Amino acid sequence: MKALDAEVVVIGAGVVGSAIAKELSGYRLSVLMVEARPDIGDATSKANTAILHTGFDASPGSLESRLVARGYGLLRDYAGRVGIPIEDTGALLVAWDDEQLSVLPKLQAKATANGYDATQIVDADAVYARVPALGPGALGGLLVPGESIICPWTTNLAYATEAVRAGVQLRRNWPVERIEVNDQVTTVHGPAGDMTCRWVINAAGLGADRIDAMFGYERFAIVPRKGELLVFDKNARALAPVIVLPVPSAKGKGVLISPTIFGNVMLGPTSQNITDRTDTATTVDGIEFLRRKGMSLMPELMMEEVTAMYAGLRASTQHDDFIIEADSAQRYVVAGGIRSTGLTASLAIAEHIVVLLNEAGLRLRARQDLPGPMRMPNLGEGFMRPYRDEQRIAADARYGDIVCFCERVSLGEIHDAFASDIPPVDLDGLRRRTRAVMGRCQGFYCGARVQQLLDQCAGERP
């Protein structure tokens, strides 16, 4: 028999697929990760609210609740090891009417049922003491000290980088069209070619139901839920010292205001079910909705400039939980319906899938020959960045050559991104790896030079 292309094919290189590939790379088997988009983390994973959740408001007893709680600790440890920036800001749920106020004790009880008992109900004075810029009318709140902000891009990239360094083969621009399951071999077909494997793991995010259907399932249907977000200028950062969360109520979920790890403030998301899985455009109505919400939540914030606007698609399904199941007969595992909590849960999802694979008969033996520890470039504003690092600049002048003024991204960091294990292929990818052109001027000063570097460095690659 012809040798297989890989023992396991992971479909999807978002934060979940990359976490799975990274986890599997610790065992003695060959892994191939395919991604339909031009880059890893280029769909749902790139556009979320970037919060490391405690899982306090999950449905108690659900798989999501368990994996978010477990993933929270795992990701914290991992982030510390590889240098993913996290800031422990804490969150404050703010009640704006009596109904929301009456929900707070129930939320607190829910948190306890989820194993999180650090929440605290506070009165209006305490709410304004923590977030003085809030608009008038707050009646009280619930403090959730463990909620934190994290860099979602570095997380995804760190997983994928570690996987690739450990020997996982990554194929970008590799959409899957058809899957053929035979007794011993599964063949995955796409416009870019075929690949054979023993096992398939479906972490296809917005496409997970379609891949699932290729195995004959009709377990779930993805309903993309569009969430539009506004990101405000760094001058606004002091207005949002904590994550300000809405209290879920009969009137809908409401929007949050959160500091970002890059030093901005984020307002959103909207929530709208759509049909087109590629529609990540912001809308006139969505922006107007956020503008109105912002005016009542934090009027001062609306005085600041908007630095970025984007829309993310959440892979919601008709079910209220993650769908993670193994089919040993078809040598197939699905990780579907992973919503915004997937970032926090990612490492626990990967760990859970290893257990499922073992149970389903894939013998996993730990490797002893893994590459040494790695360190990711820091994109967090609260941590040492190259432009401030005297020793680094003394050792290599390129770190003192600031290309993107607004985000203070140096030439050294841009060169590093192109020399990395998974180099960017477009401006968006470079932005996620370095923050270049992500700032307030949106390219007024540096757009042309960054484009030049992109053309030059992308051209130099084999």
Partner 1 sequence: MTARSGDLHVDVAIIGGGPAGLSAATHLRAAGVGDVLIIEREHQAGGIPRHSQHTGYGIRDLHRVLNGPAYAAELVARAEACGARILTGAMATGWSGPLSLDVTSPSGVYRVHARAVIIATGARERPRTARMVAGDRPSGVYTTGQLQNATAIWGQHPGSRAVIVGAELVSWSAVMTLRHHRCHVALMTTQYARAESYAAMTLPGRLLLGVRVATRTQVVQIIGKDRVQAVRITHLDSGKSALVPCDTVVFTGDWIADNELARAHEVAVDPASSGIIVDAGLRTSSAGVFAIGNVVHPVDTADVAALDGVHVAAQVADFLHHQSWATAPVELQAAGALRWVSPGRIDPSGPAPARSRLLGWGSTVLRTPTITVEQGGICLSRQKLAWPMSPGRAFRMPWSILANVHPSRGPATITVA
Q: Residue 173 interacts with partner 1 (CB under 8 A)?
A: no
Can you state the angle between helices 427-434 and 152-165, rounded to 10 degrees? 100
Nearest residue to 14 (alpha-carbon basis) of 204, 214, 281? 204
The answer to whether the beta carbons of residues 48 and 119 sit under 8 Å apart is no
Using the minimum distance from each CB to partner 1, give the nearer residue, 42 or 57.
Answer: 42
Distance CA 257, CA 255 (A): 7
Q: Give me the residue label for tokens 């009969």.
A: 250
Using the minimum distance from each CB to partner 1, give the nearer residue, 95 or 430.
Answer: 430
Q: Residue 318 interacts with partner 1 (CB under 8 A)?
A: no
How many Cβ atoms are within 10 Å of 439's Cβ, its own excluded?
Answer: 24
Q: Residue 387 interacts with partner 1 (CB under 8 A)?
A: yes
Q: Residue 425 interacts with partner 1 (CB under 8 A)?
A: no
Q: Residue 292 interacts with partner 1 (CB under 8 A)?
A: no
The answer to whether the beta carbons of residues 286 and 272 sit under 8 Å apart is yes
Distance of CA 266 to the CA centre of its chain: 15
Q: At 293, which helix (H) or strand (E)? A: helix 284-297
* Nearest approach, Cβ of residue 51 and partner 1 (Å): 22
Using the minimum distance from each CB to partner 1, give the nearer residue, 251 or 291.
Answer: 291
Contacting range for partner 1; rule: CB under 8 A; set: 81-89, 124-132, 323-331, 445-453: 445-453
Residues in region 207-236 near partner 1 by CB under 8 A: 230, 234-235
* Nearest approach, Cβ of residue 400 and partner 1 (Å): 4
Strand 91-95 relative to strand 243-246, pairing: parallel
How many Cβ atoms are within 10 Å of 268's Cβ, its own excluded?
Answer: 26
Using the minimum distance from each CB to partner 1, give the nearer residue, 321 or 389.
Answer: 389
| 331 backbone dihedrals φ, ψ, rounded to 5° | 50, 60
Contacting range for partner 1; rule: CB under 8 A; set: 27-35, 55-63, 157-165, 438-446: 438-446
* Nearest approach, Cβ of residue 120 and partner 1 (Å): 33
Tokens linked to 99:
């109904």
Q: Residue 442 interacts with partner 1 (CB under 8 A)?
A: yes
Using the minimum distance from each CB to partner 1, give the nearer residue, 320 or 426.
Answer: 426
Q: What ranges make up the beta strands (E) of 185-222?
A: 186-190, 193-202
Using the minimum distance from each CB to partner 1, give the nearer residue, 145 or 443.
Answer: 443
Among 141, 190, 286, 424, binds partner 1 (CB under 8 A): 286
Nearest residue to 453 (alpha-carbon basis) of 404, 396, 420, 405? 404
106: burial class by Cβ within 10 Å (0-12, 13-18, 19+)? Answer: exposed
Q: Residue 427 interacts with partner 1 (CB under 8 A)?
A: yes
Strand 402-404 relative to strand 409-410, pairing: antiparallel
* Nearest approach, Cβ of residue 373 and partner 1 (Å): 28
Q: Residue 400 interacts with partner 1 (CB under 8 A)?
A: yes
Q: Between the CA of residue 352 and those of 64, 324, 327, 336, what are the distances in Å?
A: 11, 9, 14, 13
**Contact residues for 222 (Cβ-Cβ < 8 A; gap 6+):** 206, 207, 208, 209, 277, 315, 316, 317, 336, 337
Distance CA 110, CA 20 (A): 29
Q: Residue 272 interacts with partner 1 (CB under 8 A)?
A: no
Among 81, 106, 367, 388, binds partner 1 (CB under 8 A): 388
Among 28, 251, 291, 319, binds partner 1 (CB under 8 A): 291
Among 175, 354, 447, 457, binds partner 1 (CB under 8 A): 447
The answer to whether the beta carbons of residues 315 and 222 sit under 8 Å apart is yes
Using the minimum distance from each CB to partner 1, give the nearer residue, 195 or 409.
Answer: 409
* Nearest approach, Cβ of residue 391 and partner 1 (Å): 9
Among 175, 443, 457, 458, binds partner 1 (CB under 8 A): 443
Start-to-end C-alpha separation, the chain:
33
Q: Residue 287 interacts with partner 1 (CB under 8 A)?
A: yes
Among 237, 360, 445, 458, binds partner 1 (CB under 8 A): 445
Contacting range for partner 1; rule: CB under 8 A; set: 262-270, 316-324, 359-367, 440-448: 440-448
Distance CA 232, CA 254 (A): 18
Q: Residue 441 interacts with partner 1 (CB under 8 A)?
A: yes
| Residues contributing to the site for partner 1 (CB under 8 A) | 230, 234-235, 278, 280-284, 286-287, 291, 303, 305-310, 387-390, 393-394, 397-398, 400-402, 405, 408, 427, 440-445, 447-449, 451-452
